[in-house]
Amino acid sequence: MSFPWAKQYEPKLPLTRWLDERLPVPRLVYNSLGGGYPVPRNLNYFWNFGVLAGAALAIQIITGIVLAMHYAANGTVAFDSVESIMRDVNAGWFLRYAHANGASMFFIVVYTHIFRGLYYGSYKAPREMVWLLGVVIFLLMMATAFMGYVLPWGQMSFWGAQVITGFFSAIPLVGDTIRIWLLGGFAPDNAALNRFFSLHYLLPFVIAGVIILHIWALHIPGSNNPTGVDVKGEQDTVPFHPYYTAKDGFGLGIFLLIFASLLFFFPNYLGHPDNYIPANPLSTPAHIVPEWYFWPFYAILRAFTADFILPAKLWGVLAMFGSILLLFFLPWLDSSPVRSMNYRPKARIAFWVLVADIAILGYCGGAPATATYVILSQICAAYYFAHFLIILPIISRSERPRPLPNSITEAVLANHGGTSPAKTALATSTTSPAPHAAH
Amino acid sequence: MATVDDMVPPGESPEPFHEEAHDPRRRDFINIAAVSFAGVGAVAIVLPLINQMNPSADVLAQSTTEIDLSKILPGQAIKTSFRKQPLFVRNLTPKEISEADAVDIATLRDPQTLEERTKAGKKNWLITLGVCTHLGCVPLGAGEGENKGPFGGYFCPCHGSAYDTAARIRKGPAPTNLHVPDYAFNSDTVVTVG
Amino acid sequence: MVRLIASIVGAAFVLVLGIALFGSVAGVITDPVAPTAESVAHKHPKELELASNGVFGKFDRRQLQRGFQVYKEVCAACHSLRLVSFRDLQKIGYSEPEVKAIASQWVIEQPSINPETGEAATRKNIPSDRFPSPFANEVAARAANNNALPPDLSLITKAREEGTAYVHSLLTGYTTQPAALLKEFPDIKTPEGLHYNPYFANLNIAMPPPLTSDGQVTYADGTKPTIDQMSTDVSAFLTWTAEPNLEARHAAGFASIIFILIFCGLAWGAYQNVWRDVKH
């Protein structure tokens, strides 16, 4: 699809030939995840995480459909129905722990996938649409995860629903009306639980749909690569199958190893004890926190403690949503023509500061809201916004990138030969049939 | 995997492929082994996904139902519930017993005597599930004034199966007699079913 | 244009955070957080070695049975175990007739209705019943316990941080309020009807010490019923009630991990094999 040298699907059996003429699904699969998709040959392990995210979604959908066969979305029985799954349903404990920890694995994988995109500039032209769709998927995932966490109807479920719907009450004038509409009542109860269940079941399929668009958009320009340099010719690529299916198979094995360790030996490590207490609308737990994957955003929310023109509560909510929505503008905020941070010394430093910054925000978000953590959150939240909205746009104009390799193949050979890409640029350029684009 | 070798990019320094050094069949063995192993894993993971649909432990827990017979007069029947299914308990009149005994067993679709369907010395107590053996409807005849059908026992309105006074199938599509569950008399007036 | 608007928005957020930061830092300086009695005296649960701990953990069934006996004779007077069924006791080594006997002899009967009149009544427990609650509802429970609600114990070891150790520490942690603490915080004297326990979150717990003397229960297997032993046993039992499938989980885990490790090895081999002639 993306390159002229992509191999064409050739049905071998009469049946596949018959099918190909009528409904070319095998051809579609071949062109998107098979031998017909040429992929840069130099992808590192960070490129495994797209396929792993797909696997994580599949695990969540399968275990989720099965759990829904036993779960009852009603405040009086929801908690007990989950416990009945844990105690009485055949292999129920396995399915429920797989679903709960599968959500964490999904976020681990997706966060790595996002940071991969940030580091290697995968959001830049011509892949902006891939990035935008990715942010849409991320938002849908967060909504799905939040609503899923409400379903067991424990204390954290209930108070999570209370706090998160409380965000909407920060909207001036209509906030309370919107919150009551969202909940279908004045506090989380059956109405909220039922609609959350309905949407929690629906949204993963919406995510799957957007993933198809995400992959479609990816296949127009083809995959980015660690050098960020465009594919120049056939020697720069290998077919997705068998090269990357083999590599993804190994990656999937490692993913499952970590997943199984968590699921079978530390199934409650990432959960919170309070969610094993049934929801009680009359008593808030001493220390309420969302699931770990929301901690950085929760820290940003809590960092806004001062009124300034707008009330602090509204600032917090705006900033929390803004911290994600700004990702939609990233392709245009970072105007550097160089994609990979490997060749952008200043932006690379800023990137690693951002990683540390988000890690600290995450730690603060999970910790109690004491003065120390609030101060730390305020500093880190300030850097977060400054990084994307101020620092990165400035760096992208002022920085002098390091010389890029002339082609992917050249970079690969330079790595193997132990010489720098700059030195081998001229020496190996004669072997490359494609003309050098100016970068 | 011949195509793998064809795909070596032409721009690369020409290294020998060591083709002779490897037996290609042995090289491919590892690919096949990995894919097969993944297949075994996928099958293993499907088992709990199927098994979860079997009855759960609380459903399987052997629950029992106690029935007080003292209030059921001859000719009367009650409909109660046993493991979420209707249960018919009937106190047969001597006339109904003799009607049941008069039937020639050989002519029955599911040959059973009334003795075989009741406890020794308690021939008047007919305890059966109220589930038609055709497609599971609840037959009429246990309630006061309900249609007992042409054989004076039970009559299933769904597809017209008619049972006699020993709850044996006599006419209609049902293949077997109404099922008699395990039960025991605790005393003359109390029965434990299950 | 995008970058101009972005920098204005970014500057706005940074400014507001700066103001908030100034407020926070000023707050710390002018109004430093005073230590509270909880921050000084609250203790972390003591380590508790149990057979079920760790990735190789298995339940010690005799210990679970002793723990069940402690629950039955001490805890059950106030605490429900509403998610556990009598039939589940077969999994800790009781035979079917023993479970039937335990159920039918259980002091608190199962709520039921009178089949004649439809009025509320009770009946003897059968194995398929869940453990009946000692109180009809929360109001009754609070009324009988000085307005404190004895929590259900089914999930207690999963519903508290380090729950198994916490239960053991709490049961054995009752003590008199340290005089030094009272001197430092004069207004935290344990109120009438509460009991000082440094393992409890706010130091004063409504539950009176449940295990008061060695020999409070008599173990059939001859184990010496010291307070520490009874507390350890009941903690083990409550670990089982919260996670009855722990052994199956560990066994399935080992099988899965070994399987996946072999798969990883094969997948690595296949990956190397496929890529053997392509530099990357």
- Is a pLDDT exceeding 70 seen at residue A32? yes
Q: How many CB atoms lie within 10 A of CB B104?
A: 7
**Cα–Cα separations (whole angstroms), residue B28 to A251, B22, B25, B35:** 20, 10, 5, 11
Asked if the structure places residue C75 within a domain, the reply is: yes
CA distance C111 to C113: 7
pLDDT in tens, A207-226: 999 999 999 999 999 999 99
- Is a pLDDT exceeding 60 seen at residue B12? no
Q: Which of A200, A214, A219, A241 is catalytic?
A: A219
Q: What is the mean pLDDT of residues A96-106?
A: 98
CA distance B33 to B35: 6
Nearest one of A48, A119, A124, A45 to A342, comparing CA atoms: A119
- Is a pLDDT exceeding 60 seen at residue B13? no
Token pair for A408? 């992917």
- Is a pLDDT exceeding 70 seen at residue B2? no
pLDDT in tens, A353-368: 999 999 999 999 999 9
**Cα–Cα separations (whole angstroms), residue B4 to A239, A242, B1, B194:** 9, 8, 5, 66
Q: Which of A248, A274, A334, A410 is catalytic?
A: A248
Chain A CB contacts of C268 under 8 Å are: 250, 253
Helix, strand, coil content of chain A in percent (nearest 5) = 65, 0, 30
Residue with tokens 């209609």: B172
Q: What is the mean pLDDT of residues A20-30?
A: 93
Percent of chain A past pLDDT 70, that is, above it, reads: 95
Q: How confident is the model at residue B182 (pLDDT cuts 50, 70, 90)?
A: very high
Name which of B31, B56, B189 to mutate to probe chain C: the one with the most chain C Cβ atoms within 10 A of its Cβ: B31
Mean pLDDT (chain B) is: 86
User: What is the pTM (predicted TM-score) of this model?
Assistant: 0.91
Q: Which helix (H) or strand (E) holds A38?
A: strand A38-40
- Is a pLDDT exceeding 50 seen at residue B43? yes
This complex has an ipTM of 0.94
pLDDT value of position B130: 95
> Nearest residue on chain B to C115, judged by CA atoms?
B68
Q: Which helix (H) or strand (E) holds A39?
A: strand A38-40
pLDDT value of position B6: 43
pLDDT in tens, A422-439: 444 444 444 444 444 434
Residue predicted with more confidence, A70 or B144:
A70
pLDDT value of position B27: 67
Provide long-range contacts, Cβ within 8 A and 24+ apart, for A66-74.
Answer: A66/A95, A66/B49, A66/B52, A67/A95, A67/A96, A67/A99, A68/A201, A69/B52, A69/B53, A70/B52, A70/B56, A71/A151, A71/A197, A73/A151, A73/A193, A73/A194, A73/A196, A73/A197, A74/A190, A74/A193, A74/A194
- Is a pLDDT exceeding 90 seen at residue B19? no
CA distance A347 to A351: 6
Asked if the structure places residue C143 within a domain, the reply is: no
Distance from chain centroid for Cα A270: 18
Coil, helix or strand at residue A238: strand
- Is a pLDDT exceeding 70 seen at residue B18? no
Name which of C21, C130, C278 to mutate to probe chain A: the one with the most chain A Cβ atoms within 10 A of its Cβ: C21
Q: What is the mean pLDDT of residues A23-43?
A: 93
What is the phi/psi pair of residue B190, to 5°? -125, 130
Range in B15-24, C20-29, C134-143, C226-235 the model is least confident about: B15-24
Nearest one of B52, B87, B45 to B181, comparing CA atoms: B87
Q: Which of A2, A70, A84, A247 is catalytic?
A: A247
Question: For residue A37, what is the DSSP state?
Answer: S
Q: What is the mean pLDDT of residues A49-76?
A: 97
Question: For residue A293, what is the DSSP state?
Answer: G
Please give the radius of gyration of chain B, using alpha carbons only, rounded to the nearest integer.
32
DSSP string for chain B? -HHHHHTS-TTS------TTTS-HHHHHHHHHHHHHHHHHHHHHHHHHHHHTTSPPHHHHS---EEEE-TT--TT-EEEEEETTEEEEEEE--HHHHHHHHHS-GGG-SS---TGGGSBTTBTTEEEEES--TTT-PPPB-SSTT---TTTEEEE-TTT--EEETT--EEESS--SPPPPPPEEESSSSEEEE-
Nearest one of A233, A206, A213, A224 to A331, comparing CA atoms: A224
Q: How confident is the model at residue B143 (pLDDT cuts 50, 70, 90)?
A: confident
Mean pLDDT (chain A) is: 93
Range in A140-149, A240-249, A398-407, C26-35 the model is least confident about: C26-35
Residue with tokens 């008069």: B102
Q: Is C113 on the interface with A (CB under 8 A)?
A: no
Nearest one of C73, C65, C70, C56 to C92, comparing CA atoms: C65
Nearest one of A262, A257, A275 to A104, comparing CA atoms: A262
Q: What is the mean pLDDT of residues A271-282?
A: 95
Question: What CATH number has the domain bearing residue C78?
Answer: 1.10.760.10
Fold of A43-267: Cytochrome Bc1 Complex; Chain C (1.20.810)
Chain C CB contacts of A385 under 8 Å are: 9-10, 13-14, 17
Percent of chain A past pLDDT 90, that is, above it, reads: 91
- Is a pLDDT exceeding 60 seen at residue A269? yes
| Annotation marks residue A410 as catalytic | no
Asked if C273 lies within 8 A of B17 by C-beta distance, the reply is: no
Name which of A256, A321, A336 to mutate to probe chain C: the one with the most chain C Cβ atoms within 10 A of its Cβ: A256
Q: Is B40 on the interface with A (CB under 8 A)?
A: no
Q: Is A238 on the interface with C (CB under 8 A)?
A: yes
**Do residues A140 and A234 lie in contact, with contact meaning Cβ atoms separated by under 8 Å?**
no
Distance from chain centroid for Cα A281: 33
HSE of C129, CA atoms in CB hemisphere, 13 A: 22
pLDDT in tens, B63-101: 778 888 998 999 899 999 898 899 999 999 999 999 999
Question: Could you state, in order of their start, the residue ranges of all structural domains in chain A?
Answer: 43-267, 291-415
Q: Which helix (H) or strand (E) holds A155?
A: helix A155-168
Asked if B33 lies within 8 A of C260 by C-beta distance, the reply is: no
pLDDT value of position B83: 87
Q: How confident is the model at residue A23 (pLDDT cuts 50, 70, 90)?
A: very high
pLDDT value of position A431: 41
pLDDT in tens, A130-161: 999 999 999 999 999 999 999 999 999 999 99
Q: How many CB atoms lie within 10 A of CB A283?
A: 12
Chain B CB contacts of A95 under 8 Å are: 48-49, 52
Question: Which domain covers residue C77, as residue numbers?
Answer: 37-83+153-248
CA distance C126 to chain B (A): 8
Q: For strand B65-68 and strand B190-193, is the pairing parallel, antiparallel, or unpaired? A: antiparallel
Chain A CB contacts of B37 under 8 Å are: none
Query: Residues 6 or more apart from B147 whose CB is under 8 A from it?
Result: B140, B141, B155, B157
Asked if the structure places residue C94 within a domain, the reply is: no
pLDDT in tens, A304-359: 999 999 999 999 999 999 999 999 999 999 999 999 999 999 999 999 999 999 99
How many domains is chain C partitioned into structurally?
1
Q: What is the mean pLDDT of residues A116-137?
A: 97
| Annotation marks residue A247 as catalytic | yes
Q: For strand C195-196 and strand B125-129, is the pairing parallel, antiparallel, or unpaired? A: unpaired
Q: Which of B18, B22, B134, B159 is catalytic?
A: B159
Chain C CB contacts of A93 under 8 Å are: 245, 248-249
What is the phi/psi pair of residue C96, to 5°? -60, -45
Q: How confident is the model at residue C36 (pLDDT cuts 50, 70, 90)?
A: confident
